[in-house]
Structure 1
């Protein structure tokens, strides 16, 4: 009887956790450059003094779906989308380096190129500062150029170059801040093969329809686990009644 209770109880607990992960993915279906999180179940035997005849369920985080999202044309000069594999390098508040696919950029009060969350983009020589009263163009290789407003279009000035990286996906882990970092804590080297598209943004790779179907399936699985616990309780009650008659 307790084998059934162990399996059903832990299964229901981790179904709720997987439902939370699925809801998190669904909530970020419109977040620029978001990567869906993947979970799975696995059985773990209960170790004790006797043989491991009991098992419980664990929600194991498989990792991240690194499939690229679709590109959306915006026409905004500060929007960039990483084409194919690769990441934009940003400076985190603690000074370390993080990686993101969200290319919706802005300028700070001091003209520093930042993400919408206020993180500085990393360039060849550190943060990239844009002078005032200029139009901005970002080339495929990440080169940031400016042209003074009202001047000759040929008066192009190269400000810097975005740091574009492409570390192995198996060495990337998602942080609590939503940014990715390397598992071993090393800083990824710039990769000249990574390119960006200006005036475009990458959509989230979360499928709303698939996430809704997953949510319904998880809800039904949770109900099934609850029924198993109810059956275990009913069986225990009937067994007690039979024993009391004896």
Structure 2
């Protein structure tokens, strides 16, 4: 395979990666707290030495470098549940995974579990300050309120505070595939720096028109790449025919 074919192959792989990311964004357009992803590519330059008098040739290829999350906030969606929360700013809610570890989410659908712990809609225990679950007395399960600073009250008593964890380097946050994120190097915000909105959750920040436009651009780029591949094939065939006649 000649170098031009390798360049086209790297381009097609990059287009497929872009399509996968855009399709995943579209699939999560209604997922609470979802942050759209954008693929990141970098240029790989290969140098090919010619003869003694020939100049060094450089060839640029495309390499997948990963993906970044768009940290812009989604719209507030009222739910009618007074203990649903939306983080007003950066950060994540910490939850306890079934394996006993810690994961993070922006989806603030909350409920009081059968054991009295404050949980997400999926049944994961919400972790408060210091990584401790927040327990509500069962007789006061219908009297729970959450303040703007994360303070959780049951009736007149304060029973804990919702902790918001921020990451100075968002590259340390990776999707787990179950709607939550794994992360390292996070730190809890103090009550004075915590800002929550109650009575609703954060919607996805995916914009359908943007992702649709991206998909159209990807399709056109792929069509152009295929035309170039066909043209290269025709050139090789023509060269082989001419060499055959010359022989």
TM-score, length basis structure 2: 0.86
1:86 corresponds to which residue? 91
1:179 corresponds to which residue? 180
1:63 corresponds to which residue? 68
Deviations 1:115-165 (A, max 9, x none): 123221111361112222432111101111123xxxxxxxx1222111122
Per-residue deviation, 1:187: 4.6
2:138 corresponds to which residue? 132
Per-residue deviation, 1:179: 3.0
1:212 corresponds to which residue? 212
1:152 corresponds to which residue? none
Aligned pair count reads: 236
Cα RMSD between the aligned structures? 2.3
**Would the aligned equivalents of 2:110 and 2:120 in 1 still touch at CA under 8 Å?**
yes
* Range with greater deviation from structure 2 (101-110 or 212-221): 101-110
For structure 1, the residue ranges without an aligned partner over 5 or more in a row are 148-155
* Range with greater deviation from structure 2 (49-58 or 22-31): 49-58
Where 2:235 maps in the other structure, the secondary structure is: helix
For 2:84 and 2:147, how far apart are their aligned partners in 1? 11
**Would the aligned equivalents of 1:9 and 1:229 in 2 still touch at CA under 8 Å?**
no
For 2:4 and 2:25, how far apart are their aligned partners in 1? 31
1:162 corresponds to which residue? 162
Where 2:241 maps in the other structure, the secondary structure is: helix
For 1:170 and 1:124, how far apart are their aligned partners in 2? 21
1:142 corresponds to which residue? 150
Matches within 5 A, 1:26-105: 26-46=26-46, 53-105=58-110
For structure 2, the residue ranges without an aligned partner over 5 or more in a row are 51-55
TM-score, length basis structure 1: 0.86
**Would the aligned equivalents of 1:3 and 1:55 in 2 still touch at CA under 8 Å?**
no
Where 1:5 maps in the other structure, the secondary structure is: helix
Per-residue deviation, 1:56: 2.6
For 2:87 and 2:214, how far apart are their aligned partners in 1? 29
**Would the aligned equivalents of 1:104 and 1:115 in 2 still touch at CA under 8 Å?**
yes
Where 2:196 maps in the other structure, the secondary structure is: strand
For 2:172 and 2:126, how far apart are their aligned partners in 1? 19
For 2:29 and 2:126, how far apart are their aligned partners in 1? 24
By percentage of residues, which structure has more helix? 2
Per-residue deviation, 1:225: 1.2
For 2:164 and 2:13, how far apart are their aligned partners in 1? 41
**Would the aligned equivalents of 2:92 and 2:104 in 1 still touch at CA under 8 Å?**
yes
| Structure with more contact order per residue of length (Cα contacts < 8 Å, sep ≥ 6) | 1
